[in-house]
Amino acid sequence: MPQGKTKIKVQLPKGVKQKQKQQKKQVLRKGPTTIAPKKARLVEAAKWKQGLSRQLHASIEEKAVSRATSSEATSLRLLKVSTSSGSKAKSNKKK
């Protein structure tokens, strides 16, 4: 026979809030999807940044081509992939 009071579960007072469960962060999926910024100023900054990076890449590529053509004894042959043939190549890989 037990002697003394039985133990009761401790309960918080009514005025105290309980902790809320934290949701797990969703895993980002691969692919070209971008999460759009909520503010218009950030949208404009993103567009500016993309344009700047395009210009930088183009100028770097142009400098590399000019260096290669000037240093090589033989002519430099560049292969530029058009957008239509690039999409066909991707569809062939999936099969």
Map the chain to HEC letters: CCCCCCCCCCCCCCCCCCCCCCCCCCCCCCCCCCCCCCCHHHHHHHHHHHHHHHHHHHHHHHHHHHHHHHHCCCCCCCCCCCHHHHHHHHHHHHC
pLDDT digits over 16-51, tens only?
777 777 777 777 777 887 776 678 888 899 999 999
* C-alpha–C-alpha distance, residues 24 and 19, integer Å: 15
* Predicted pLDDT of residue 83: 62
Cα distance between residue 4 and residue 11, in whole Å: 20
pTM (two decimals):
0.39
